Amino acid sequence: MKKASLLILCLLLILQIANASFRVLETDQEQIIIEYTPGEYSLSQQNDYTYLLTSEMNYSIETGAPMLAYEETKIGIPPSGSVQVTLLSSSHHSVKLEKRIMPVPEVMMEQEVSSYRFTINEQLYLLSKANTPLLNLLNPTSYRGISFCPLEIHPFSYDGNYNLEITDQAIIKIEIIGNTSLRSILEKDELTDLFLSQLINPEQAKNWQLMSRSLVEYADFSRSDYWWKIETDRDGIFKIAPSQLTGFPLSDIDPRSFRLFSNSGVLLPFAINNPGNAFQEIPIQVIGEEDGKFDAQDYILFYGTNRDGVEKNQSLQDKATYYNPYSGNCVYWLTFGGEYNTEPLRITTLPEQQSWNTQTTTFVDNIRLESENLRRETIGFDWYMTLLSGKMTADYDFTMELPDLSNENNGILSFSMRQEEVSYIATHNISVYVNGNIIPASSDSYIFSWEGLNEYEFQKSISYFVPGSNTIRIRVH
C-alpha cells in the first residue's frame, strides 16, 4: 500500500503544477486561446556558472547542454486528430549574465555513490537558441484511450554565452483538427480523472476517449504440432539436413509444407506498452521438395543473422551500441504442416540479368574491431576495449584484417575515446599511425587534441590500408 500511496502523491503533485502557468481565455469546439506566464524562477551564481532555479518547471536533460527550464501542458484531441499552435503575441525582457548558464551535469558512479560532473558542450551551447523555440509541439500520443499532444513552452532563450532572453507573457492560439463532434462514453477511474485534469481542455477530451485492445505480438505455437528451434550466430546462408531434425517424423513430412519463423532479434525498448517484435515467416528454399518426400539427400536453405548491429540495438540507449548485451544469437523456429491460410514462403529465384548500364567490382563493407573488456561506470551499457594511460608517451597497437581490399578508394578509419572516470578534467593528445604512416590532424600538425569528459570521435579518410593485416597505432602523448 505504501508504493501505491507514493504513486498517487506524485501524480497529485504533477496535477497541481501542470497548468499553473496556463490560463484559458477563450474556447470553442475547435479553437482555444490561452495565456502563458512562466512560473517562479530565480538566477543565482554557483561556482563558475549561473544557475536557473525553478520550482515548477522541467529541465533539459542532455549532458553538457545549458540547463534551461521549460514547461509543458497537454492538449486533448479526437482520435487520429492533430493540433496547430500559433503565437499571437508575447512580451519578454533581456538579462545580461556575469557567468554562463550551468550545463546539465553528467551523473557518475564512484564506489556506488553518485556524483556530478559539470562540463560544457560548446556545440550544444552554440546551438541552444536555434534548438529551443518558444513553442515546441510534440507528436500525438494517448493515455487510457484519450489522445493528446504535449506542448512545451521554452520561456528562456539563451545565446550560449552571456545573454538570456526571458518571455514574460504569451498569447497562444490552439486549433484542434479532427472529429471534434465525436461523443463517447468515458470509462472513468482515478488515474483517468487525474490525467484529464492535466489537460488544457478536459471537458472536451473526456468525450473523445477511444478504448482499444492493446496489440501483443506472440509466437502462436498452437498452429502446428512440431517445432524445431534454430540459433544462428552470424550472417550467412544456413543449411538444415534431415539428419539434424531429431524428433521430427521425417517419413510423414511433406517438405513442401516446411515453414520458418523468427521475430527478427531486434532489441525491445524499455517501454512497457511496446507490443514486441512480430513473429513472422521467413522465406526458405527446400531442395528436393518436388516429390513430396524429405529424402536423405534433401535439405533446407535459409538466410540467418545475429543480434548485433547498431540498428538492431538502437533502443538500448542514446549512444550507438553495436553488441546486444543479452544474447548474440538470432532464434528461428522450423515447423511443417499446421493450420495456416497461406502457402509456405519460398526464396524467389529471379531471372539472370541479361543487360546492365553499370558494372562494378567493389563494394563497401564495415570491419569492426571491438571487444567488451572495461566498464567506465558501474551502471548502464557502455563498454570499452582498452585503457590508454600513462604519464609518459605510450604506443597502443591494434591489428585489423582486411582481406580482398580494393586499392581504388580510400578507407575510413573511425574510433571513439572518452576520459576515464576520474575527478579532474584533462587535455588529451594523440597521434594516429596506419601501417607506420602518421595521419595529419591539420595542415601543420599531427596531434589530435580534446579536453574534458565528452566522447571524442575520430574519423579520417585513409589511403594507407593494404590487403591483409593492417596495424593501427595510437600514440598517447
Q: How far is CA 159 from the centre of its chain?
A: 28
pLDDT at 109: 61
Burial 294-314 (b: 16+ CB within 10 A, else e): beeebbbebebbbbbbeebbe
Amino acid at the residue 277: N
- Mind listing the pLDDT tens digit for each residue in 67-121? 999 999 999 999 999 999 999 999 999 999 999 999 999 877 655 556 778 889 9
Question: Which tops the pLDDT comparison, 255 or 29?
Answer: 255
Sort 149 into a burial class: Cβ within 10 Å, 0-12 / 13-18 / 19+.
buried
- Mind listing the pLDDT tens digit for each residue in 169-217? 999 999 999 999 999 888 888 999 999 999 999 999 999 998 777 788 8
Nearest C-alpha neighbor of 334 from the set 436, 194, 219, 166: 219
pLDDT at 290: 95
Q: Is the pLDDT of residue 4 over 60?
A: no
Q: Is the pLDDT of residue 164 over 80?
A: yes
The 3-class SS string of 273-333 reads CCCCCCCEEECEEEECHHHCCCCCCCEEEEEECECCCCCCCCCCCCCCCCCCCCCCEEEEE
pLDDT mean over 159-177:
96
pLDDT at 270: 76
pLDDT at 450: 86
- Strand locations in 363-454, DSSP E? 374-375, 383-384, 394-402, 411-417, 427-434, 437-438, 448-451
Question: Cα–Cα distance between 52 and 64 in angstroms, integer?
Answer: 15
pLDDT at 9: 31
- Mind listing the pLDDT tens digit for each residue in 391-430? 788 999 999 999 989 888 899 999 988 887 776 778 889 9
Question: Cα–Cα distance between 444 and 288 in angstroms, integer?
Answer: 66
Domain extents in the chain: 2-205, 221-335, 374-476
Nearest C-alpha neighbor of 143 from the set 82, 204, 76, 83: 76
pLDDT mean over 23-41:
93
- Provide CATH code, domain 374-476: 2.60.120
pLDDT at 162: 95
Q: Is the pLDDT of residue 273 over 80?
A: no
pLDDT at 110: 58
Question: Which tops the pLDDT comparison, 453 or 148?
Answer: 148
Q: Is the pLDDT of residue 16 over 60?
A: no
pLDDT mean over 214-231:
92
Q: Any residues with CB less than 8 A from the CB of 203 and at least 6 apart, and which?
A: none
pLDDT above 70: percentage of residues in the chain: 93
Question: Cα–Cα distance between 195 and 142 in angstroms, integer?
Answer: 11
Model confidence band, residue 50 (pLDDT cutoffs 50, 70, 90):
very high
Q: Is the pLDDT of residue 473 over 90?
A: yes
Do domains 2-205 and 374-476 share one topology? The answer is no
- Mind listing the pLDDT tens digit for each residue in 275-314? 889 999 999 999 999 999 999 999 999 999 999 988 898 8
Question: Which tops the pLDDT comparison, 271 or 382?
Answer: 382
Nine-digit cell at 98?
556575469
- Mind listing the pLDDT tens digit for each residue in 316-362? 877 778 888 888 999 999 999 999 999 999 999 888 888 888 888 88
Question: Cα–Cα distance between 212 and 181 in angstroms, integer?
Answer: 20
Which CATH architecture best describes the domain 2-205?
Sandwich (2.60)
pLDDT at 420: 79
Nine-digit cell at 14?
504533477
- Mind listing the pLDDT tens digit for each residue in 135-155? 999 999 999 899 999 999 999
User: For 230, what's the count of Cα atoms within 13 Å in the CB-facing half-sphere?
Assistant: 29
pLDDT at 113: 57
pLDDT mean over 370-398:
83
- The answer to whether the CB of 85 falls within 8 A of the CB of 140 is no
- Mind listing the pLDDT tens digit for each residue in 116-135? 788 899 989 998 888 789 99
